Amino acid sequence: MIEKIKEIIENRVLIIDGAMGTQLQIADIKNESWQYEGKDLEGCNELLNLTAPNILEGIHDAYAIAGADLITTNTFGSMPWVLEEYGIAKTSYELSKLGAQLVKKSCEKFSTKEKPRFVLGSIGPGTKLPSLGHITYDEMFEGYKIMAQGLVDGGCDIFLLETCQDPLQIKAALHALKEVSPQTPIMVSVTIELSGTMLIGTDAMTIAAIMAPFNILSLGFNCGTGPKQVHKHVKALSEVCRFPISVHSNAGLPQNRGGVTYYPMQPKEFTELSIEFLEFNGVSFLGGCCGTTPAHIEALAKEASKIKPKKPSGFLKASLASLFNVVPLKQDPAPLLIGERSNATGSKAFRELLKANDYEGTLSVGQQQVRAGAHVIDVSVGFAGRDEREDMNKVVSLYSQKVALPLMPDSTQLPALEEALKQIGGRPIINSVNLEDGEEKFDAVCNLAKKFGAALVCLVIDEVGMAKTKNRKLEVAERIYDLCVNRHGFNPDDLVFDMLTFTIGSGDDEYRTAGMETLEAIREFQLRHPEVGTTLGLSNISFGLSINARIYLNSIYLDHCVKAGLTSAIVNVKHILPLNKISDEDRKACDNLIFNNHEN
């Protein structure tokens, strides 16, 4: 199916139909059509698939006659948690299936060889936002699976996730849809409010960064405002989005007329403004949302048929994202600074807050790092005697809502990592994958990262142990690179290799050359694979020294590493000094340690 759709949009715009909800508001629906098991459920539009199929058929047929290629099912709210508001969660599968069957009937009636019609399964968000904790990822995932199964069994050709308000909702839905029907293409359409972002605060560029790793047919906008207001967001999306773009706006900005919502835009103006989107590369699907009618779609289909869509050409460098911001994995100037203080083993203050179950308090540790200039926040909550999964859930959900930077969930435990990923609406980076426990666990972490669209830190540890010399580091890094790229299909840009460093501050003979081994491994690996990133838990280099000595040594070692090609570092951001703040004498002392220029 996906190939067929892609082939069509090479040549012409595909037309999505118009509104359903506002059409039902003006339809002649009998009182008895709102009755179910003795209850009056007026307002539950999806019930009409069962009780008033003729009304739905009429609307679907009218849109098909008007020229729509993709006819949307009346299933916007047929998820169990939405139907539960009417006490009929159990009908989710049935109403979804009936909804798809009704559209299929219209499609069969009006399809021709030149103009096939497709069943577009509408999947809304409901009114609960998982990023705000109104509903869990798991509840959404389970609910969407039931609904998706109904849609597929009823003959759905393409899923349409529409009116999305929260990227975490999109992820829960994508995972459910892929599990139920991996071959059915998925269109994702988000709603941008007048504020310029989705309800949760995500703008066009950020949603493009979050969606980039996923396998979707298209990304776009619907509802919220009108074609005038969405214009600049379509332009912004077109510049960064690698997918075809869909736009189905409302018939103008909704107005309140005597308590009734009114959509003022007539078909002619709606069409003129919608057609302007075709100037932007990638725009390949046009249609209507609330307030549009078959007359809007007829005018739009006629004009759109005269224009060939432009191919998508958007580009975005490999990036991480919070709900609110995009952060490229490679900063210019390097390095990307990853704050290390939200760490139960590395920070006593953070640990004490966790032990006291003061999750709000742990948030302040994250926010201090934002103020200190971090680009990403590492979150590591594992600590003996505590439930890591539970702590990950609590800390990461708060950070995800309230820290404006991307997150790096950090754990050796798969369930804790997975729990973190289920709380993150943005695009995270996992810390980390390694080969210490063999390839089975390695594969499991990679699968998790792929599923949630996360980037990945690759740590140079294998079954033998931590790689200490340059050659061992390179050997393990090459093996991990090969597995990630060739077995798991990672884009090398999304991989960040942690070359590991050991303390040179202890005076221990074994580690005297540790700084140099790591430095040279970074240099060589970045030369061999310029597209990947590298990172380092910088503080290890100075373990055992006084706090001042640590600050100097860390800052100077970081400078050497960056010159060797290091692209990021996991650091206490407050403790990184600019070189001009370090005297020549201190600098020399640090260099002697790093380069092992000992007098003995």
Q: Specify the stretch interacting with ligand HCS by CB under 6 A; choose among 8-16, 19-27, 259-267, 528-536.
A: 19-27
Report, in Å, the least distance between residue 16 CB and ligand HCS.
9
- Exposed (0-12), middle (13-18) or buried (19+): which is 113, by Cβ within 10 Å? exposed
The count of C-alpha atoms lying within 13 angstroms of the C-alpha of 344, restricted to the half-sphere facing its C-beta, is 23
Report, in Å, the least distance between residue 17 CB and ligand HCS.
Answer: 9
CB 574 within 8 A of CB 534: no
Q: Does 289 bind ligand HCS (CB under 6 A)?
A: yes
| Category of 416 on φ-ψ map: left (φ > 0), alpha (ψ -120 to 50) or beta | alpha
Structure tokens belonging to residue 361 = 């308090």
Q: Which helix (H) or strand (E) holds 455?
A: strand 455-459
27 binds ligand HCS (CB under 6 A): no
Examine residue 21 and tell whether it contacts ligand HCS (CB under 6 A): yes
Q: Answer yes or no whether residue 526 interacts with ligand HCS by CB under 6 A.
A: no
- Distance in Å, CB of 69 to ligand HCS, minimum: 16
> Rounded CA gap, 387 and 416, in Å?
9
By C-beta, is 26 or 547 nearer to ligand HCS? 26
Q: Which stretch binds ligand HCS (CB under 6 A): 14-22, 463-471, 487-495, 549-557?
A: 14-22
Q: Would you call 194 exposed, middle or buried from its count of C-beta atoms within 10 A (0-12, 13-18, 19+)?
A: exposed
Look at residues 179, 169, 92, 178 and name the one whose alpha carbon lies nearest to residue 136.
Answer: 169
In the block, tokens 């739905």 appear at 56
Q: Distance between CA 520 and CA 565 in Å, rounded? A: 10
Question: Whole-number minimum distance, CB 132 to ligand HCS, in Å?
Answer: 20
Write out the DSSP string of 367-391.
HHHHHHT-SEEEEB---TTS-HHHH
Q: Rounded to the nearest whole angstrom, what is the least distance from the CB of residue 49 to ligand HCS in the complex? A: 13
Secondary structure letter of residue 90 according to DSSP: G
CB of 204 to ligand HCS, least distance (A): 18
> Binders of ligand HCS among 148-167, rule CB under 6 A?
162-163
Q: Given the rule CB under 6 A, which of 13-21, 35-43, 203-211, 487-495 is the region that contacts ligand HCS?
A: 13-21
Residue 261 Cβ, how far from ligand HCS at the closest point, in Å? 12
Residue 58 interacting with ligand HCS (CB under 6 A):
no
Q: Select the residue interacting with ligand HCS from 13, 48, 59, 72 (CB under 6 A).
A: 72
Residue number with CB closer to ligand HCS (19 or 204): 19
Q: Which part of the chain contacts ligand HCS (CB under 6 A), choosing from 15-23, 325-333, 399-407, 589-597?
A: 15-23
**Residues touching ligand HCS: how many (CB under 6 A)?**
11
- Indicate left, alpha or beta for 215 from its phi (over 0: left) and psi (-120 to 50: alpha): beta
Selected binder of ligand HCS within 290, 392, 467, 594 (CB under 6 A): 290
Q: Which residue is nearest to ligand HCS (CB)?
A: 21
| Separation between Cα atoms, residue 73 and residue 68, nearest integer Å | 13
Q: Closest approach of Cβ 72 to ligand HCS, in Å? A: 5
- Does 223 sit near ligand HCS (CB under 6 A)? yes
Q: Whose Cβ is closer to ligand HCS: residue 152's or residue 297's?
A: 297
- Closest distance to ligand HCS from the beta carbon of 288 (Å): 8
Q: Which residue has the tokens 């409010």?
A: 193
**3-class secondary-structure state, position 344:** coil
**Distance of closest approach, residue 191 Cβ to ligand HCS, in angstroms:** 7
Contact between 19 and ligand HCS by CB under 6 A: the answer reads yes
- Which among 18-26, 62-70, 340-348, 355-363 is the span making contact with ligand HCS, rule CB under 6 A? 18-26
Does 20 help bind ligand HCS (rule: CB under 6 A)? yes
Cα separation values, 593 from 193, 526, 588, Å? 56, 24, 9
Query: Which residues fall within 8 angstroms of residue 136, CB to CB, at 6 or more apart?
Result: 130, 422
Query: 7 burial class (0-12, 13-18, 19+ CB within 10 angstroms)?
Result: exposed
Binding piece for ligand HCS, criterion CB under 6 A, among 16-24, 126-134, 142-150, 294-302:
16-24
Choice from 33, 92, 101, 122 touching ligand HCS (CB under 6 A): 122
**Six-digit token pair at 64?**
């098909």
Q: Where along the sequence are the contacts to ligand HCS (CB under 6 A)?
A: 19-21, 72, 76, 122, 162-163, 223, 289-290
